[in-house]
Amino acid sequence: MNLLQRLATWLDVRPNEVRTVSLSFLGAFVVMAFLVLARSLREALYLSAFDVRTLPYITGAVAILSIPTVGAFSKMLARYSPKKVLVALLFILASGLIALWALAVAGVFAEIRSTAIVAFYLWTALGTLLLTSGFWVVTSEFFPVRGAKRLFGLIGSGGTAGAMVMGSLLIWLTRQFTPAWLQLLLVGLLVLFFCALQLLPKIVVASSAKQEKSSTLKSAAAVWKSPHLRTIGWIIFFVGVATALLDYQFKALAQASFDTPERLTSFFGAFYGWTGAAALFIQLAIVSRFLGWAGVAWTLAVLPLTLLLGSVGMLIIPSLILVTAVRGADATLRKSLYRSALEVLYVPVPSLLRRKTKTFIDSVLDALGEGVGAALIFLFVTLSGFSFRYLSLFIIGLSGVLLILSRKMGRQYFSTVKEQLQLSGSDARTLAAAAHLEGRDLLSGTFTRLDIQALVDEGGEPLFGSPAAQPESEAPQSGGGDPLLTRLRSPDLATVASALEETLTWDERYLPELSRLLARDPLFDRVTLALMTAGDLAVPYLTRVLADEGADFVIRRRVPRVLARMGGVEADDALLDALGADRFEVRYRAAIALVRRRRRGLPSSERDEVPLVWGAIESEVSRG
């Protein structure tokens, strides 16, 4: 195993995922590097030319312009491939930046510097809005629910690494180049992102009989009709409002402390670099584990809890150090825990609906949240003259609302997964009825893709390949006087195979050896036949092995495949109990075995299965 394979194993990336995950990681890196550079430049240029109290005007303008812009973008996503739409966006964004740079270098903007700064601000703000959302729309097409929970933290860490690297480089870049020349670096980042997109594998998407046209109003209606998307929308909106208020406090104190564009750009660059480093650490070391341990609801709740505590401090002692710490925590969590949790929430949403609504939610609702925040700043600070420290009162209230929504989102996420399991695939209800699929079948769907059609069509080996058996512990060569036992314990495959075919009578003496032989791939079919020949005599022993969490894992995960073909109620009960096993593949194979027992008409458990199965689904969804 080489270094790259070891790294992939440590990061829990499957061999068939390496290319997609690597390119997605690179894409996230470039997108966030672009975002940090563009944001640092536009904020530094704006604050050097305008009073901080005018920020509500430019923020409101971004919010208003985002509505038609995102509407057009969503319409394109619903009509064409997300990858093609993103490529077109890159071309348009790069063309605008080159045009602005050419005019600036030619001196055209010398007499109208304020207009040039506003144009650059609006162009980059709207561009990054679409670029970030478009990137995650493309990425989410590649992964099912389970893969998203496992890998989105890693992919997101590419973005935080990009933010960290670019933020750190800005301190040096601002000393070497003027802001006008740094615009060309933005274009270079877009070119690099285009290359990463072109190298991504093609996605085969099931075509819809009728591609529905999308618009901002239709996207809004689709979001409102879906409780799941509606809750996500409210969370993003209120986070946008809270962040806009906190960001104003941060910029007001920064403007009072730094008086030139270069010093402001350097400060903002260092800020985004350090927050990127902190977010990278959280992404790599904490996100996937925290998501799996705490679940979606608690992961979402971390951000509002942080804002709540930080805003109480800002209300009491406002200072640049404190506001930088609170804003830094906000930026760090939004790039790590919060963003990863949000992207996981989108995965159970049907692909076409996700394309139609995700950009609207991520861009329009976020921008509207910032617009409402800007309106509050305008009313209470710009017009009324209140100190910006009192904006913390609004942030505290918004944090409370977000905590309530986080808890609601946890329940809604489980509900959506359950609905999608029941409805996924074409004519899922008919398929389920034809195959006699019950609650346990939905559980099996939870473990892989949300696709009952794949479950109905499945045959032979489970979706997971059978890895090579683990080395067996040395077995004594003596059979205690029984020649058959001695041959079953032989390391020679031919000897064991001939012993398995020698007799059709198997009693309790042979069960430990037969179960041990399940770990040997070439003998599996013969051993299964021998255990089936033993019949009900073998079931109690196999169920004990299945329930023993200390048993050899290779043997334990293969027991459900045997019980799928034999045994009565006791075997069915054991498989139901195995849905709560410690190892994922044991749970998965137990679910598959239950499906196959129903299809073969084997005896069912006398227990009430519905609560057991749905309880297992809820547990599986919350595991991460």
Instruction: Sketch the domain layout of the chain as residue ranges.
Output: 12-200+213-419, 483-623
385-417 per-residue burial string, b: 16 or more CB within 10 A, e: under 16: eeebbebbebbbebbeebbebbebbbebbbebb
Least Cα distance to 24 among 203, 292, 236, 205 occurs for: 203
State the pLDDT at residue 108: 60
| Helix 113-140 × helix 55-79 angle, to 10° | 40
CA dihedral 256, 258, 262, 264 (to 10 degrees): -60
- CB 352, CB 209: distance < 8 Å: no
Fold that domain 12-200+213-419 belongs to in CATH: Growth Hormone; Chain: A; (1.20.1250)
Q: Which of helix, strand or coil describes residue 211?
A: coil
Q: Work out the burial of residue 550: count CB atoms within 10 Å of its CB; fewer than 13 is exposed, 13-18 middle, 19 or more buried.
A: exposed
Q: Which two tokens stand for residue 531?
A: 């255990």
CA distance 245 to 377: 7
CA distance 316 to 390: 10
Least Cα distance to 251 among 400, 391, 61, 100 occurs for: 391
CA distance 500 to 488: 8
State the pLDDT at residue 525: 84
CA distance 53 to 337: 32
277 phi/psi in degrees, rounded to 5? -65, -45
SS3 content of the chain, % helix, strand, coil (to 5): 80, 0, 20
Q: How many helices (DSSP H) and strands (DSSP E) are in the chain?
A: 29, 0
CA distance 452 to 443: 10
Q: Give 91's contacts (C-beta < 8 A, 6+ positions apart).
A: none
Q: Give 169's contacts (C-beta < 8 A, 6+ positions apart).
A: 269, 273
Q: Give 305's contacts (C-beta < 8 A, 6+ positions apart).
A: 399, 403
Half-sphere exposure of 188 (CA within 13 A, CB side): 7
DSSP state, residue 579? T
- CB 566, CB 575: distance < 8 Å: no
State the pLDDT at residue 124: 92
DSSP state, residue 178? -
CA angle, corner 506, sides to 503 and 511, nearest 5? 130
Q: Which two tokens stand for residue 39?
A: 């944001």
- CB 509, CB 480: distance < 8 Å: no
Q: What pTM value is reported for the model?
A: 0.57
State the pLDDT at residue 356: 77
364-403 pLDDT, tens digit per residue, is 788 888 889 988 998 988 888 888 889 999 999 999 999 9
State the pLDDT at residue 166: 86
112 phi/psi in degrees, rounded to 5? -130, 55
| Helix 227-257 × helix 288-316 angle, to 10° | 50
237 phi/psi in degrees, rounded to 5? -65, -50
CA distance 363 to 74: 10
Q: Give 558's contacts (C-beta < 8 A, 6+ positions apart).
A: 518, 519, 524, 589
CA distance 51 to 378: 13
CA distance 3 to 50: 52
CA distance 296 to 601: 38
- CB 160, CB 32: distance < 8 Å: yes
115-145 pLDDT, tens digit per residue, is 888 899 999 999 988 898 888 888 877 776 5
State the pLDDT at residue 449: 34
pLDDT-flagged residues of the chain (< 50): 206-212, 424-478, 624
